[in-house]
Amino acid sequence: MKRKLIAAIGVAGMMVGIAACGSDDGKGGSTDAGGNKTLTVWVMDGSAPDAWIKNVNKEFEAKHKGVKVKVEIQQWNGIQEKVTTALSEDTPPDVLELGNTQTAGYAATGGLADLTEDKAKLGADGWNKGMLASNELDGKLYSAPWYAANRVVVYDKAAFKKAGVTPPKTRAEWIAGLKKLKASDPKSQPIYLPGQSWYVYAGFVWDEGGDLAVKDGDKWKGNLSSPEAVAAMNFYKELQSYSTAPKDKDEATPQQSTDIVPKGGVASWIGLGWEAGGAIDAMKKVKKTADFGYFPIPGKTADKPGSVFFGGSNLAVSERSPNKDLAKEWLALAAGKEHMAKYAEATQGALLPNNDAAQFKPAAGSFAEAMAQAASVGKITPVTPGWANVETAPNPIKDYMTKVLKGEDAKKAGEAADKVITERVNQQ
């Protein structure tokens, strides 16, 4: 649960200097004796580059005399219950970051302030349409998109060169390349792909034209047993057969970027910007040089890359905040075009800002460049309040994947998983 895969800082170096500007001036939200107000902002560990958020707050405090912004970094461990309970308090955090797959779940509770009226102020016109979707529920706006990121294939240039493989454009080329890699170095893994990388699998489902869950009247139902999803799973299985990664683990147990890749023997893997950064860093520590290349996950045909899950975060204002107006002001400032451009710059384009106009021009051959190519086909999980329940451990999609990889029939296992998904997705 701790990684809700909001993507995060792309540049590994940045992980060190995460915003530590929280000052300990007691309770958030309320007005003190001198009429000074404190605005409390919750951001997740690793989301906000230190210098960037300090800059935002400096500008904000200059504009609003007597207001102090207190940034509190939240850990992933136990965050859902923490946010849920916090939203029920009288002095909740005024502004808080929510994972994009989780936002609808909170929006439906009445715990988030309705921002529909403030669209203009927040600059909604310029927002990336793909990112906007997760912020809306039943036609109302409950949060502002902040950033998003998607996965690309990271490869070891030397290994690819040795095997005579170039970045593939189609799935067929991809598999052919993996075969060559295997032949050229039987001891290495052509690709490291654990059995439960379900966001990668979701991309394959979208490629086939299916979805993880579909609307069925006014209800939702799980859709893993659909022919599209079965085809996607079979492709995943084929791909996974080139890896010796555990079939019952996801990419974070053990952490592929820091625990697996630096040890060598991995020709390619699918990861986010911060993972690539983390791997480069970890390799530096053991005196190895990472020579990574990046390419978007290949699509079925060469004309467009494979679909990818658009992980990201939104910023919401809590309904019970005593400083709602101030909170909205802060939101408008931080998620506004100007500061988002700085955000994109601070993250070297490894995170996509909410506004295309704020996009940072990524360097050639960088992770960001590959990511931007795939961003046009970025998608998110079904936008419905119940989706958060599906993702919560034990995630039925992950269990399903493991079962199929261990030999169960994809359709049959899919039917069993659909039952659980249907039950969970319709719960509030």
Do residues 220 and 425 touch, judged by C-beta distance below 8 A?
A: yes
399 binds another protein (CB under 8 A): yes
Tokens 């309040």 correspond to 385
Do residues 230 and 414 touch, judged by C-beta distance below 8 A?
A: yes
Among 30, 241, 392, 426, binds another protein (CB under 8 A): 392
8 binds another protein (CB under 8 A): yes
Q: Is 137 helix (H, G, I), strand (E, B) or coil?
A: strand
Copy the structure tokens of residue 269: 């893997």
Do residues 370 and 296 touch, judged by C-beta distance below 8 A?
A: yes
Instruction: Report cis status (omega within 30 of 0) of the bond before 167.
Output: no
2 binds another protein (CB under 8 A): yes
- Helical pair 396-405 and 198-207, crossing angle rounded to 10 deg: 80
Under rule CB under 8 A, which residues in 243-262 are in contact with another protein?
A: 244, 246-249, 252, 254-255, 257-260, 262
Among 52, 71, 97, 105, binds another protein (CB under 8 A): 105
| H helix or E strand, kind and range, residue 291 | none
Find the length of the chain. 428
Do residues 16 and 49 touch, judged by C-beta distance below 8 A?
A: no
271 binds another protein (CB under 8 A): no
Strand boundaries in 262-326, DSSP class E = 268-271, 292-295, 308-309, 311-317
Among 50, 51, 64, 76, binds another protein (CB under 8 A): 76
Under rule CB under 8 A, which residues in 226-245 are in contact with another protein?
A: 244
| H helix or E strand, kind and range, residue 378 | strand 378-379
315: DSSP letter: E
Residues 123-142: x where in contact with another protein by CB under 8 A, - otherwise, as a string? --------------------
Q: Which stretch binds another protein (CB under 8 A): 130-138, 331-339, 369-377, 395-403?
A: 395-403
363: DSSP letter: P
Nearest to 144 by CA among 97, 110, 111: 97
Q: What's the closest the beta carbon of residue 81 comes to another protein, in angstroms?
A: 6
9 binds another protein (CB under 8 A): yes
44 binds another protein (CB under 8 A): yes
- C-alpha pair distances (Å), 48 with each of 11, 72, 205, 219, 281: 12, 11, 32, 36, 19
72 binds another protein (CB under 8 A): yes
Task: Give the integer Cα–Cα distance in Å for 147 and 335.
Answer: 9
Q: Which is nearer to another protein, 46 or 322 (CB)?
A: 46
299-314 burial, b at 16+ Cβ within 10 Å, e below that, comes to: bbeeebbbbbbbbbbb
Among 198, 274, 309, 367, binds another protein (CB under 8 A): 274
Q: Which is nearer to another protein, 92 or 299 (CB)?
A: 92
Q: What's the closest the beta carbon of residue 190 comes to another protein, in angstroms?
A: 17
Copy the structure tokens of residue 160: 């690819």
Q: Which stretch binds another protein (CB under 8 A): 14-22, 119-127, 169-177, 208-216?
A: 14-22
173 binds another protein (CB under 8 A): no
24 binds another protein (CB under 8 A): yes
Backbone CA torsion sign across 399, 259, 352, 4: positive
Under rule CB under 8 A, which residues in 276-335 are in contact with another protein?
A: 278, 282, 285-286
Residues 176-215: x where in contact with another protein by CB under 8 A, - otherwise, as a string? ----------------------------------------
Nearest to 250 by CA among 195, 190, 203, 311: 195
Q: What's the closest the beta carbon of residue 285 comes to another protein, in angstroms?
A: 6
Among 31, 88, 234, 301, binds another protein (CB under 8 A): 88
Among 31, 36, 75, 166, binds another protein (CB under 8 A): 75
Q: Which is nearer to another protein, 144 or 404 (CB)?
A: 404
- C-alpha pair distances (Å), 268 with each of 70, 150, 242: 41, 16, 11
The amino acid that residue 408 corresponds to is: E
Q: Which stretch binds another protein (CB under 8 A): 50-58, 79-87, 215-223, 365-373?
A: 79-87
Q: Which is nearer to another protein, 171 or 320 (CB)?
A: 320
Tokens 């952490």 correspond to 255
Copy the structure tokens of residue 411: 């359709």
Note the residues at the interface with another protein (CB under 8 A).
1-6, 8-9, 15, 20, 22, 24, 26-28, 44-46, 72, 75-78, 80-82, 84-90, 105-106, 108-111, 244, 246-249, 252, 254-255, 257-260, 262-263, 274-275, 278, 282, 285-286, 389, 392-394, 399, 402-403, 424, 427-428
